[in-house]
Amino acid sequence: MSDRYRVVEEDFGGHPILVLSDEVAKQTARVLPSVGNNCVSYKLTVEDRDVELFHAAPDAETLLGRPSGYGIPILFPWPNRIDRGRFSFEGTDIHLETPEPNAHLLHGFVLNRAWQVEATGVDDGAWMTGRFRSSEDEGIVRQWPFPFETVCTYRLREGRLSVEFEGTNTGSSNMPCGLGFHPYFGLPLEAGGDRGACRIQLPAASYWPLREDNIPTGVILFVNEDYDLRELSALGDRYYDDVWTDVAVSADGWSRCLFEDPHSGVKIEVEADGGFREWVFYAPDNRPVVCFEPYTCTTDAFNLATRGIEGGMSVLGPGESLTGVMSFEPNRV
């Protein structure tokens, strides 16, 4: 057993939850396999107090009621919206089940399903691996004719939390797909903080203008004024739910966003590997949250593809996989 790292199982309102801890960095992460393999909590000890970095669900039932609203929802086999739940792919019309007629379908299938714990360990940090197979879920099989398997590892190592994902086409035909992560941070991180004083940075040179229902028009514009987030700046009274592209990737193959909360004395570097070509930035006017969401494709990329617009849709042949890694490194300001 490592002296620095621990993985233990605890009870979370009747649901097993895995707690990863880094005793040296004074960090803990809690993963709930039974609801989307969601990392529902990530805490950093600052001086004599624990600071919750994520917007955490208080219990499993709350998360089940809004599985896209807490922690780190995993978005696969597509992120964000499919226009009215309909698209065509290689000559086949796909009609997915939507909450109501003509509503958009959000965020894929895996964020609210029960995953199986594949393995845990402390040999390379504290880590756990969950697995999900679509063929074992009748609700997915009924409407999605592309069998898939997902594997996701959370790893807490040397003061950094990483999310390592692989989605594999287990069927006999091509499968359209995209991947996104949707991490929620408190805005501000602690009571008494100031939303407007929190600082943000997102390294993208262009954005996708959206219709009123948050579906891309298909046009890409260069950032300007409030859409230019390339320099670290205070959020102020601005609100966002938008998609950026032309993301700057460093020489090491990663793009990096930054979130700082001066009241809490915490800054968080949010990273994604080079496979993520879009970032969604979400700072709504009705919830105290902020999200930096890396996507491998833009919203409604499947329908954009039928219009001849390159939105980043991946096509996996039988046995092929889409992978992506995201990480978080919190530090004191």
Please list the pLDDT of the chain residue by residue as tens digits (333 residues): 579 999 999 999 899 999 999 999 999 999 999 999 999 999 999 988 999 999 999 888 999 999 999 999 999 999 999 999 999 999 999 999 999 998 999 999 999 999 999 999 999 999 999 999 999 999 999 999 999 999 999 999 999 999 999 999 999 999 999 999 999 999 999 999 999 999 999 999 999 999 999 999 999 999 999 999 999 999 999 999 999 999 999 999 999 999 999 999 999 999 999 999 999 999 999 999 999 999 999 999 999 999 999 999 999 999 999 999 999 999 988
Nearest CA to 112 out of 178, 59, 34 is that of 34
pLDDT of residue 175: 98
User: What percent helix, strand, coil does the chain show, rounded to 5?
Assistant: 10, 50, 40
Cα torsion 302, 306, 307, 309: sign: positive
pLDDT of residue 105: 94
Domain at 5-332: CATH architecture: Distorted Sandwich (2.70)
Q: What pTM, to 2 d.p., does this model score?
A: 0.97
Q: How far apart are CA 292 and CA 272, in angstroms?
A: 10
Spans of all domains in the chain: 5-332
